[in-house]
Amino acid sequence: MLQRSRRAFLSTVLAGVPVALAVPRRLLAGPAGTRALRFAHTHTGERLAVEYFSGGAYLPDALAAVDRFLRDFRTGDVHAIDPRLLDLLHRLAAATDTTRPFQVISGYRSPATNEMLRRRSEGVAAGSLHQVGQAIDIRLADVPLSHLQKAALDAGRGGVGYYPASDFVHVDTGRVRRW
């Protein structure tokens, strides 16, 4: 009986609390909200500002624009980018309070480009998730790299690689891991 009255009391009290006070602001744009991202590609000089999610659904034309923007800039090959990767970037933008676009070092990589990079560097994986549109290497002009790395680790989604000497953070939608 006591538990029921506590529940009733809490229900009554919480019913009067405005949602904005009970829920952090960045979570208010839930599944039915809109999600947008801004990018600046470090190799091509291209920029993209895109709303990719609205009304509870991903927007196909916007996803196609992202696929094209994050293409393998060496070969021109375009590949579908995992929408969960975009959601992760959206989450990182909110967590870091950035006002700047994501600077993209590498998005999709064709198998040929990945193999060429593997021959040049030890840090490129043979089975890189860049090859399947599930990884991106980024930085933010107004966020220290270590803070971006921490935000990515705190998100608890996918892999996070920290490359301070090369000035970027790798994030992907694979299994949770770090290096």
**Residue 106's closest CA among 138, 82, 132?**
138
Note the pTM of the prediction, 2 decimals. Answer: 0.81
Record the tokens describing residue 138, joined without a space: 């980024």
User: Is 103 strand, coil or helix?
Assistant: strand
Level-2 CATH architecture, domain 30-178: 2-Layer Sandwich (3.30)
35-41 vs 47-54, strand pairing mode: antiparallel
Sign of torsion over alpha carbons 178, 167, 114, 62: positive
Eight-class DSSP state of 176: S
For the chain, the domains span 30-178
> In tens digits, what is the pLDDT along the chain, a chain of 179 residues?
444 444 444 444 344 433 333 333 333 344 569 999 999 999 999 999 999 999 999 999 999 999 999 999 999 999 999 999 999 999 999 999 999 999 999 999 999 999 999 999 887 888 899 999 999 999 999 999 999 999 999 999 999 999 999 999 999 999 999 99
81-101 burial code (b ≥16 CB/10 A, e <16): bbbebbbbbbbbbbbbebeeb
